[in-house]
Amino acid sequence: MLEPYLQRRETFTISTELARLDIAFIHKFLSEETVWARGIARETLERALKNSLCFGLYENERQIGFARVISDYATYAYLDDVFVLAEFRGRGLGAWLMETILAHPQLQGLRRFGLTTIDKQEFYAHFGWRALYYPERHMEKMPPGYYSPKS
């Protein structure tokens, strides 16, 4: 188990403490507001959170954003489920969240750090992500009907 990682800026905090996460808030946002996780079962989300390095973004004690990383902590990581509530966007909090994730001690020295995004390529490019050099080498397996092919 990893030690909690904490960063503060003014009234905002980023924490990896799993017990601090507002799971109801995360589930509501992901299942109702996103394309990629629309309709996700709470039990599925809870299992995913327990097996990920989670970053909660808070204003005082209220959770206002989230991201998680799936990793072996040696060679590969995958960034997933990133969001900041609309009312807090445009303040640099998403950028700070990315900087905090990329600075996390357990995520240093990885050979590859992946993500999938529908429309935020420009945002992630500022942090070093780019389109795949060899997309034809990458594949995915998804159960029929689980996600729409366009998600």
Mean pLDDT of the residues in the chain? 94
Beta bridge partners of 12: 9, 59
Q: What is the pLDDT of residues 93-116, one digit of tens each?
A: 999 999 999 999 999 999 999 999
Task: Report if residue 42 sits inside a domain.
Answer: yes
Structural domains of the chain, count = 1
Q: Assign residue 117 the CATH number of its domain.
A: 3.40.630.30
Residue 150, pLDDT score: 47
Q: Residue 69 class from Cβ within 10 Å (0-12 exposed, 13-18 middle, 19+ buried)? A: buried
Strand, coil or helix: 56:
strand
Range of the domain at 113: 6-137
The answer to the question of residue 143 being in a domain is no
Positive or negative CA dihedral for 53, 111, 99, 88? negative
- Rounded to 5 degrees, φ, ψ at 132 are -60, 135
> For every one of its 151 residues, what pLDDT tens digit does the chain have, with 9 covering 90 and above?
678 899 999 999 999 999 999 999 999 999 999 988 999 999 999 999 999 999 999 999 999 999 999 999 999 999 999 999 999 999 999 999 999 999 999 999 999 999 999 999 999 999 999 999 999 998 988 887 665 444 4
- C-alpha distances (whole Å) from 21 to each of 2, 31, 141 are 16, 16, 29
Residue 115 lies in a domain: yes
Question: Is position 149 within any domain?
Answer: no
Rounded distance between C-alpha atoms, residue 34 and residue 109, angstroms: 31
Q: For residue 24, how far is the Cα from the chain centroid?
A: 16
DSSP one-letter string for 65-76: EEEEEEE-SSSE
